[in-house]
Amino acid sequence: MKKLLFLASFLIGINVFAQAPETPVKFEATKHSFGQVPQSIPVTTTFSFTNTSDKPVIIETATAECGCTTPEYPKTPILKGQTGAIKVTYNAASPGKFTKNVHVKVASVQQPFLLTIDGEVVPKKSK
């Protein structure tokens, strides 16, 4: 009897952990490649998302890994079914390839969303 109870508990536990948690937002894309960009000319992209939950979604923070990348995010709640956007600007000051991440923390979601930009800054051509 104890073995049967243990087996039943084990199988129920596996089923609970196997279910993927639902996230309240769905991003259209989480990565953007700028390709080659001229040095010293900032570039910007927008990551659009939709509130797929039944409750308003609040973006608590959007933080970049360094000062060369600046995220802007909505400060007001995004209502059910509505869309929002995270605008990410890269300053392109230093030549070379880059990959930068922005961590987006949504209220009531433990794991932040990861947005990634990449590209290559090339020196401006002299005239």
Q: Cα–Cα distance between 116 and 78 in angstroms, integer?
A: 22
Q: Report yes or no on 11 lying in a domain.
A: no
Q: Report yes or no on 90 lying in a domain.
A: yes
User: How many structural domains does the chain have?
Assistant: 1
Specify the CATH number for the domain of residue 96. 2.60.40.10
Kindly report, residue by residue over 63-89, the tens digit of the pLDDT: 999 999 999 999 999 999 999 999 999
62 has a pLDDT exceeding 60: yes
Residue 66 · residue 98 · CB < 8 Å: no
Q: What's the pLDDT score for residue 28?
A: 97
The backbone torsions φ and ψ at residue 74, rounded to the nearest 5 degrees and listed phi first, read -70, 135
Q: How far is CA 68 from the centre of its chain?
A: 17
Q: Report yes or no on 57 lying in a domain.
A: yes
7 has a pLDDT exceeding 90: no
Residue 86's domain spans which residues? 23-122
**Residues pairing with 36 in the sheet:** 120
For the residues of 18-77, what is the DSSP string, one character each? HSPPPPSEEES-SEEEEEEEETT--EEEEEEEEE-SSS-B-EEEEEESSTTEEEE---SP
Q: Report yes or no on 112 lying in a domain.
A: yes
Q: Report yes or no on 18 lying in a domain.
A: no
48: how many CB neighbours lie within 10 A of its CB? 12
Q: What's the pLDDT score for residue 57?
A: 97
Q: Report yes or no on 77 lying in a domain.
A: yes
Q: pLDDT tier at 22 (50, 70, 90 boundaries)?
A: confident
Q: Report yes or no on 61 lying in a domain.
A: yes
DSSP 67: T
48 has a pLDDT exceeding 80: yes
Q: Report yes or no on 12 lying in a domain.
A: no
